[in-house]
Structure 1
Amino acid sequence: MSTTAPLPDWKTSLISLSLTSNILTFGTYKLKSHRISPYFVNCGLFSKARLIRAISTAYAQTLHAHAQQNPSFDFDVLFGPAYKGIPLAATTAEKLAGLDEGRWGEVGYTFNRKEVKDHGEGGLMVGEDIRGKRVVIIDDVMTAGTAIREAISIIASQGGKLVGIIVAIDRQEKMPSESEKRGEGDDGSVRGSTIGEVRTETGVPVLAVLTLEDIVEGMRKLGRGEEVQRMEEYRQRYGATD
């Protein structure tokens, strides 16, 4: 299955960079769901300057493009949940300003402490005050949705208004069944994805820099037919309904 629109060059470049940096790898990987995946994306390896620049620019481009296509979408603060979301929030805010200083130059960023500080300035949050502000959560992945729901709760407790969520990768696969969680295999039932469930629960856009469909299309453009076939077989078995 191919995308309905050509894959943007910047996505192809990001996929190629992820391959050469061993961020995107192919093989046999056992996931928490006990599924055996033919590919794995380790977002923690976006840890060198040129890689940080690439991924933060990709986040910024994704947010900016969505805002251009949906004029009512706007936000004041990027919230990066501790710990992986912290550098993403800071670097993406800077890249947004570079795309459109007039629109995004005043976007702030904030993050939570794992433990509330009881001295100095104190409190749970570091960075921009989100009280009364429109907030987008930025994180690397969404697996079971537990961390995102915790972040949503923090935003509500601090008086912010959630208007969007963005992650690096949407694997576009259905949520694990109870039998899978017990290691007994998929029960074959039709289910939606975690991202789809969170989108329904919150009523806000849940964006992804790259989807499985993007990766398949990017690998096809790079002439990696064997990997494309394996991903297509995986998607045929575990693809979500949303």
Structure 2
Amino acid sequence: MSTSAATTDRDALAREFVQFAIDAGVLRFGEFKTKAGRLSPYFFNAGLFDDGAKLARLSQFYARAILASGVEFDVIFGPAYKGIPLGAGVAIELARLGLAKPFAYNRKEAKDHGEGGMLVGAPLRGRVLIVDDVISAGTAVRESIALIEAAGATPHAVVIALDRQEMATENGADVSWSAVQYVRDRLGLQVVSIANLAQLLQHLGQSDIFLPYFEAVSTYRGRYGVE
């Protein structure tokens, strides 16, 4: 497949996902305060993929994005808490598509009885793919990296639903890179996203219904966005 054809397929997947997120009530528009204290015109809450049908379809989007990216890995890791059902769903969907991979997740607190420890599921070995909803500040990724390396495995890549392509903050001030760029460029992990802010805007701009949202999100991106 040519590079342009692959890009077209990824853009189509992203637009399909954005519409699914809107229909599911997961992607909402209005005025929402972010962790950085900004007033965002949109909010993505993956916790609202809250029934079997939504989770199944969400897992399909993750699996398609992973396969389209060509990322290679040996184990799937779902960090507590949101990453646990996401990672499990992705493992199931990839197996259905013929790519069966072991799956593991962590507890927030170490268990002192039974099998003990903080890790549950398959042993962490080789290249590990972390599955989560978004990367807000990179903190959760760093915690996952520490757990994976302590188990003797290699943190290799992260797959998320939405890349906000937004300036991160450091010591309360805006910086010129995003959390995703930090994870990719400074922590050295490949990052795969089902959709990003540019693709979200592209989808909104194709319908008069979404025009007010398109304008608000465009303005927000102009102020806080990164490429």
1:1-242 map, 5 Å: 5=8, 8-67=11-70, 73-99=71-97, 101=98, 104-105=99-100, 107-130=101-124, 132-176=125-169, 178-180=171-173, 191-223=176-208, 224-240=210-226, 242=227
Secondary structure at the aligned position of 1:191 is classed as strand
Q: Give the CA deviation at 1:174.
A: 0.9
Secondary structure at the aligned position of 1:176 is classed as strand
Cα deviation 1:170-215 (Å, max 9, x = unaligned): 10011125455xxxxx6xxx61111101111232211111111111
Q: Give the CA deviation at 1:6.
A: 7.1
Secondary structure at the aligned position of 1:221 is classed as coil
1:7–1:214: 8 Å Cα contact kept in structure 2? no
1:7–1:217: 8 Å Cα contact kept in structure 2? no
Take 2:224 and 2:203, find their aligned partners in 1: how far apart are those partners? 20
- Structure 1 residue ranges without an equivalent (≥5): 68-72, 181-185
User: Residues 173 and 210 from structure 1, CA distance in 2 versus in 1: closer, same or farther, beyond 3 angstroms?
Assistant: same
Q: Quote the residue 2:3 is aligned against.
A: none
Residue type of the partner of 1:65?
A
Q: Give the CA deviation at 1:7.
A: 6.3
TM-score by length of 2: 0.90
Secondary structure at the aligned position of 2:155 is classed as strand
User: Residues 222 and 95 from structure 1, CA distance in 2 versus in 1: closer, same or farther, beyond 3 angstroms?
Assistant: farther
- Structure 2 residue ranges without an equivalent (≥5): 1-6
Take 1:228 and 1:203, find their aligned partners in 2: how far apart are those partners? 33
Q: Quote the residue 2:4 is aligned against.
A: none
Take 1:6 and 1:136, find their aligned partners in 2: how far apart are those partners? 22
1:195–1:206: 8 Å Cα contact kept in structure 2? yes
Residue type of the partner of 1:227?
Y
Residue type of the partner of 1:154?
L
2:78–2:105: 8 Å Cα contact kept in structure 1? yes
Secondary structure at the aligned position of 1:175 is classed as strand
Take 1:20 and 1:198, find their aligned partners in 2: how far apart are those partners? 30
User: Residues 143 and 225 from structure 1, CA distance in 2 versus in 1: closer, same or farther, beyond 3 angstroms?
Assistant: same
2:73–2:129: 8 Å Cα contact kept in structure 1? yes
Q: Give the CA deviation at 1:149.
A: 0.4
Q: Quote the residue 1:183 is aligned against.
A: none
Secondary structure at the aligned position of 2:186 is classed as helix
Q: Give the CA deviation at 1:5.
A: 4.2
Residue type of the partner of 1:128?
A
Residue type of the partner of 1:36?
L
Take 1:33 and 1:118, find their aligned partners in 2: how far apart are those partners? 36
